[in-house]
Structure 1
Amino acid sequence: MPTPNLKQQLDAGGFLLGTWSQSASPEMLEILGYSGFDFTIIDTEHGFFGLETAENLVRPAEATPVRYSPSWATARARSHRCGNRAQSEPLLVPL
């Protein structure tokens, strides 16, 4: 049976544990992935890295159970498709 996506988990009454990743370290993202987090946001808007580094952060996220969603800093970066991978899920957080 496939793993339910984030919305399905919330609709089923579950809760999710996640964090924003502002580190440019692939090792840190891998540690997050194996630490029990349900999701992480790869944050290029507030983090100290750009699109090229974010692309390298997607790889360790894909190798772990964590779901990820890139947060792009610019419209140009949003049009780039490197974050559109199998586990990447859109995430909308109401303010």
Structure 2
Amino acid sequence: MKRSQIIKKILINSDKIKSLRNENIELNRLHLLLTDKTQQYTEQEESFGRGKSKTTHLIGRVHWKEYLVDEDTHKKIQIPRSCIVKKDGQWVEGY
């Protein structure tokens, strides 16, 4: 195999990898928007700042429940969790 053929094959594989990454990103975003008994997606307007600098943004959050076991009583404790995934209709970096 010649060097040019190897380089061409590397470029083709790189394009496939980029395509699969983009597809996985979109699938992950669809997964976040699903609402079921495991997690819920909500959108609501929230105010940020104080006084004259107060602004309102449309915030999309994913809510879920995390379960931990208390080391002393060995009881299962439910902790509600959430994270912001969208701001004003745009995906937050990392999602």
TM-score band (shorter)? under 0.3
- Structure 1 or 2, whichever has the larger Rg, is 2
Structure number with the higher strand fraction is 2
TM-score w.r.t. structure 2 length? 0.22
Q: Which has the higher contact order (CA 8 A, sep 6+)?
A: 1
